[in-house]
Amino acid sequence: MATGRTHRPATRSRGIPEATVARLPLYLRALTALSERSVPTVSSEELAAAAGVNSAKLRKDFSYLGSYGTRGVGYDVEYLVYQISRELGLTQDWPVVIVGIGNLGAALANYGGFASRGFRVAALIDADPAMAGKPVAGIPVQHTDDLEKIIDDNGVSIGVIATPAGAAQQVCDRLVAAGVTSILNFAPTVLSVPDGVDVRKVDLSIELQILAFHEQRKAGEEATGESEAVVRAPKDSGKGPDGDVPAVMPA
Amino acid sequence: MATGRTHRPATRSRGIPEATVARLPLYLRALTALSERSVPTVSSEELAAAAGVNSAKLRKDFSYLGSYGTRGVGYDVEYLVYQISRELGLTQDWPVVIVGIGNLGAALANYGGFASRGFRVAALIDADPAMAGKPVAGIPVQHTDDLEKIIDDNGVSIGVIATPAGAAQQVCDRLVAAGVTSILNFAPTVLSVPDGVDVRKVDLSIELQILAFHEQRKAGEEATGESEAVVRAPKDSGKGPDGDVPAVMPA
DNA sequence: CCATCTTTGTGCACGCGTTCACAAAGACAT
DNA sequence: ATGTCTTTGTGAACGCGTGCACAAAGATGG
């Protein structure tokens, strides 16, 4: 994205294709589950099934990292967990700030998966003075005025934007100016950033629209097609206002 | 997904490439903004800039929809909004259910962008009996026991899963059995679904890991490279527990 | 030590997506 | 009406990603 993904054209980072990088976290998750069940080794076929991909693709992906498998046996789970973690840079701790503590921002702050993989919520930042000092997920919210100082003091290089769309670009500019070089954007806006800064976006609205497209297509085929399956018939409604509200977007 | 995206191999739906479909919502958003500012026409160059894509790509994307532009002038904003909306199936109303009303589920329910583009939250569903009847975002939460009836009564074909990972597959199975054919999955799990069902996933953890990879790469290049810019130095911390908690994932 | 069997690692071909570059189309001025 | 100028629509080339299919590698048993 991804789907999502902001233009990183032909920049195959250190020879590892972008598509492969995007799948490594998937493998890592499956491997971690196996590790917790104390499974010692796993074949490409099994692991591929668990990760929901083709086994040939998985093997090719791993081949970019090196030859970590044993022919006739499979992959050592623990070893592979370590190798992938290292490749993804998860052996170190990444402090993260979340800007915009509304419904979504608070949900993100409460998300347990943060700490699990080397990410740590270093600070929560919001523009509303009334929020300042109020603890969310055990972390006191700080005011936007101190953004630069917070970034600097904590050595933050990854920022999460969960503000309304109108504020996103401005927040983004300040984050970048303060030294942030990776941004995860939940606001429904296209952010423009200088070279060297990575942006990934997560947009609920876009995801739903893509699903709607396919849904419509299915309905259309069904109508013209053979089997007269049950056609879903949604009622129509007045169009709602176009919210400038924080959102959730996909890579 | 991308990035998400679940394997839809060579199924170019009605001739429109999947990559193009994924960008249509982006164009639509930019066009809507122009429409609100009463801009009558826009060139491919301007619109591409607003959507953050290449102008040639945009023109090719539009060429799949038909010839809606005027050479020497550009595109009629209102007309294009309508055409894209129609293509995406947004001229009709799509009732959506959200299953799993935790932090994230509640945030999604409160998200204003839902109503804006033809989506309507038809019901909120949670497994916790204590939640039943309690209103979230003005909509009373219903119990999982009634899931099938809710789907059927409202003619729902799109479901959003915001449950913990452990419950996701089970919820998914029930949704599909009840007639849902499109699923937006926020749980950090690979869902397996029968053919004909579309799944898109949004995973915060995966997005962060991808950013961490690039971040690490930048740091590495910096070290071996020329300019001795300020190297961010995050402190290390004890590894947190691997939460089974709801998440946020990108296509 | 040899044979067999499993599973990895990868060369190759194919298809999708992106980008360039330009001809065709139309607006607009004279 | 004719010429100029802008902008679209698209043919063609290229590169990335995917999947097949198989040879190489190693484990395992006799």
Q: How do residues B146-205 score in pLDDT, each as one tens digit?
A: 999 999 999 999 999 999 999 999 999 999 999 999 999 999 999 999 999 999 999 999
A105 has binding-site annotation: yes
Tell me the nearest-neighbour CA distance from A172 into chain B, angstroms: 15
Residue of B nearest to A237 (CA): B93
Separation between Cα atoms, residue B30 and residue B48, nearest integer Å: 9
A72 touches strand C (CB under 7 A): yes
pLDDT of residue B233: 47
The pLDDT tens digits of the residues spanning A150-189 come to 999 999 999 999 999 999 999 999 999 999 999 999 999 9
**B98 shares a domain with B83:** no
Q: Which residue is nearest to nucleotide D9 (CA to C1')?
A: B63
Q: Is B3 a member of any domain?
A: no
CA of B72 to C1' of C29 (A): 14
Cα dist from B227 to A40, A245, B230, whole Å? 44, 40, 9
User: Could you tell me the CATH number of the domain that includes residue A159?
Assistant: 3.40.50.720
CA of B56 to C1' of C20 (A): 9
Q: What is the mean pLDDT of residues B69-97?
A: 97
Nearest to B214 among A1, A13, A202 (CB): A13
Separation between Cα atoms, residue A163 and residue A101, nearest integer Å: 7
**B117 shares a domain with B24:** no
Q: Is B158 a member of any domain?
A: yes
Beta-ladder partners of B40: none
Evaluate whether B140 touches B125 at the Cβ level (below 8 Å).
no
Q: Is B173 a member of any domain?
A: yes
Nearest to A106 among B21, B103, B245 (CB): B103
Count chain A–chain B contacts defined by CB atoms under 8 A.
351
Q: Which helix (H) or strand (E) holds B62?
A: helix B55-65
A45 touches strand D (CB under 7 A): no
Q: Where does a domain end: B88, B118, B133?
A: B88
Q: What does the radius of gyration of chain B's CA atoms come to, in whole angstroms?
A: 21
Domain that holds residue A184: 94-204
Residues of chain A positioned with their CB less than 8 A from the CB of B183: 211
B7 touches strand C (CB under 7 A): no
Q: Is B250 a member of any domain?
A: no
pLDDT of residue B239: 36
The pLDDT tens digits of the residues spanning B103-145 come to 999 999 999 877 777 899 999 999 999 999 999 999 999 999 9
Q: Is A226 a member of any domain?
A: no
| pLDDT band at residue A116 using 50, 70 and 90 as cut-offs | confident
Residue-by-residue DSSP string for B15-41: TB-HHHHHHHHHHHHHHHHHHHTT--E
**B100 shares a domain with B82:** no
Residue of A nearest to B113 (CA): A243
Separation between Cα atoms, residue A80 and residue B50, nearest integer Å: 42
Q: Which residue is nearest to nucleotide D26 (CA to C1')?
A: A71
Separation between Cα atoms, residue B209 and residue A23, nearest integer Å: 10
Residues of chain B positioned with their CB less than 8 A from the CB of A192: 52
